[in-house]
Amino acid sequence: EILGIFSKFHKIPQSIKILFYFLSFSIKKRNEVNYNIEEKERLSNSLQSMGTTFIKLGQFLATRPDIIGEDLSKQLETLQDKLPPFSLSEAKNIIRKDLGDQMFNSIINMSEPVAAASIAQVHKAQINDDGVIKDVAIKILRPEIKKIFNEEIDALMLFAYLIESVIKKTKRLRLVEVTFLLKEITNHEMDLRFEAAAANEYAENTKNDVGFKVPNIYWNFTSENVMTLDWVEGNSIRETDILQKQNIDTKQIAKDIIQHFLRHAVRDGFFHADMHEGNLFVDNEGNIVPVDFGIMGRLDKYNKKYLAEILYGFIKRDYVKVAEVHFQAGLVPETASKEEFAQALRSVGEPIFGQNIKDISGGNLLSQLFEITEKFNMATQTQLLLLQKTMVVVEGVARKLYPDTNIWNVSKPILENWLESLKGPKATITSAIDTSGEILKRIPDLPDFMDKANHALQLIAEGKLNLTNTSNNSLEIEKLRLKSFRNNILISILGVVILSFVVF
C-alpha cells in the first residue's frame, strides 16, 4: 500500500521494488485496503498501523521535501501521533515501580488517560508536594517501548544503508545519518529525565519572556519512565473561537508564537521543535504555554548567526549576501559558483516576494532552499532539519490564529536585534575579553603545548599520525555494523539462489 502511493510521486527503481517484494512476505492475513478514503489518509493509516517507529519516520519525512518531494511531504503532514491508551492500572504499576511506594502514595485523584501518543500517555492527577496539593500532568512511557522502537529503527537503518549502497545518488541525502538522527532524537524522548531537564533548561532561558510560560517540573515525581509537571489551566491554541470569546487577542498570539520561536532559536540556540497546535496552550492569564518537551532543537553559535543572516538576507532581498553566508558556513562546496548560487537563490526569493504579503512563508522558503541542493551538491545539514520542520509548523499555527499574519514584519525585529547584538560595540568588547581570558588561562601551558605541537608535526611528517575526524564514532561504528550485516545478507541470498538452482 505505502509503496504504491509512493510510486505515484516518484519513479521507484526496480531493485527497491524487488527488495520490498521480498520484505513483504508474511504469514499474516493482509488487511483489506479501503479505497473509498483519500490517498493521504490511506498513507497515514498504513503508517499508523505499523506502529511507533513508522509514525515517527512519517512525521520526520514530512519535513524533508528534498528527499520525498513536496506533494508526498504534504500527504504525510496529516499523520497523527495517536495510539490507543494502555490501562490506568498498568500506568499506576509503572509509577509505583519507578518512584517507590512513598511517592506513589503522594499521588491522588489520578484520571484515566487524557492523551495517548505512540511513545507515552498523559494523566491528570494531584500530588502532595510538601503538604501543598497541586494539580499536575503525569506523563508515562508505554511499556516495552524502548525495545520495540530500537529493534524497528535498526531494521530501518539497514534498509537506508541498502538503498545508499544500491542507488549511489542517494548518498548525498545521507539517509543513514538521517535515520541515525531520528534514532537519537526518539531515544532521548524515551528517557523522561532528559525531557524534564530540557523543560527545566527551556524554563530558565525563557523566564523573562513576557507572555511565555513553561510548566514547572516536579523532580521528586520524575524518573526514566515518569514525568510530572504543572497542569495547564487554559485552552488549546487550536480552539480559536473559545480564545476569542475570552477576549484573547489571537492576532497578537499569532505574532508572539513566531517571535518567541525565532528568539529561542537565535538568542538561546535551544528551541521547542514540536510546536504543533496540540502542544501549545493559552492559559487564563493569556500566556502561551508549551507542553511536550521530548523533541528540542539546538543550534551552535555559528549556525545561529548563519540562520539569522540567511533569513534577514532574504528579507532585504540581498541574494549575494545570502550566497556568501552559505559559502562561509560550508553549506555549499567551494568549487561551486557563488554567482550561480546567488542566481538560484533569487529564483527562490523573487516569486515569494511577488505574492500577497500574507502568503509569504519563511518555512516554505527554507523548504524551497532544499530543492536547489542537488544542483550544487549540497549535503544534508542534519542540525537544521528540526529548525526547518518547526518553522513550517509554527507558521501554520500562526496563520490559523490570524490568516493575515505578516511573517516577515513579525520576524524582522527579532533578527535585526540578534544581528545587532553580534556586531555592536558591546559584543566586540565581550568577544575581546573572552578571547583574552582564554589566552591568559593558557599561558602557563604554552611551553608544554609547543612541545606537543612539535612532536605532532614530526609524526605528521613521518606519516604516523591519522588525522581522520573521530567526532562521529557512533555513526561510523553503526555504518560498519550495517556494512557487515549487508554482506551477510548478500551471502545468504546468494546461497538461496545457488540452492534453488541445485534443487530445481
pLDDT at 229: 97
Residues 249-286 pLDDT 10s = 999 999 999 999 999 998 999 999 888 888 999 998 89
Whole-angstrom distance, CA of residue 63 vs CA of residue 234? 29
Is 274 a known active-site residue?
yes
pLDDT at 489: 60
Looking from the CA of 371 toward its CB, the CA atoms found within 13 Å total 15
The label of the residue with cell 509548523 reads: 393
End-to-end CA distance of the chain: 32
For every residue of 126-147, which 3-state class applies, written as one string?
Answer: EEEECCEEEEEEEEEECCCHHH
Looking from the CA of 284 toward its CB, the CA atoms found within 13 Å total 3
Whole-angstrom distance, CA of residue 142 vs CA of residue 225? 8
pLDDT at 108: 93
- Which entry of 274, 292, 359, 451 is annotated as an active-site residue? 274
pLDDT at 10: 46
What is the full DSSP assignment across 290-359?
Answer: E---SSEEE--HHHHHHHHHHHHHHHTT-HHHHHHHHHHTT-S-TTS-HHHHHHHHHHHHHHHHTS-GGG
Q: Please give the distance of CA 264 from its chain centroid, rounded to a whole number.
A: 15
- Beta strand spans in 189-268 (E): 226-230, 234-236
**Coil, helix or strand at residue 483:** helix
Residues near 350 by Cβ (< 8 Å), separated by ≥ 6? 317
Longest dimension (CA), the chain: 82
Residues near 132 by Cβ (< 8 Å), separated by ≥ 6? none
Q: Please give the distance of CA 444 from its chain centroid, rounded to a whole number.
A: 43
Residues 171-227 pLDDT 10s = 766 777 777 877 877 777 789 999 999 999 999 999 999 999 999 999 999 999 999
pLDDT at 9: 42
Q: CB–CB of 41/76 below 8 Å?
A: no
pLDDT at 366: 61
Whole-angstrom distance, CA of residue 134 vs CA of residue 214? 16
pLDDT at 201: 97
Taking CA 367 as the corner, what is the angle to CA 362 and CA 370, rounded to the nearest 5 degrees?
A: 130
pLDDT at 433: 52
The tens place of each residue's pLDDT in the chain, 504 residues long, gives 444 544 444 455 544 444 444 444 443 444 554 444 455 566 666 666 666 667 777 766 665 555 555 666 666 666 666 778 999 999 999 999 999 999 999 999 999 999 888 889 999 999 998 889 999 999 999 998 888 888 878 877 887 787 777 777 667 667 777 778 778 777 777 899 999 999 999 999 999 999 999 999 999 999 999 999 999 999 999 899 999 999 999 999 999 999 999 999 989 999 998 888 889 999 988 999 999 998 888 888 888 887 778 777 877 888 888 888 888 777 777 888 888 888 888 887 777 665 554 555 666 666 666 666 667 766 656 556 567 677 778 888 888 888 888 777 888 888 888 888 876 665 555 555 554 455 555 556 556 655 666 666 566 565 555 544 544 566 666 666 666 666 556 555 655 555 555 455
Whole-angstrom distance, CA of residue 260 vs CA of residue 263? 5
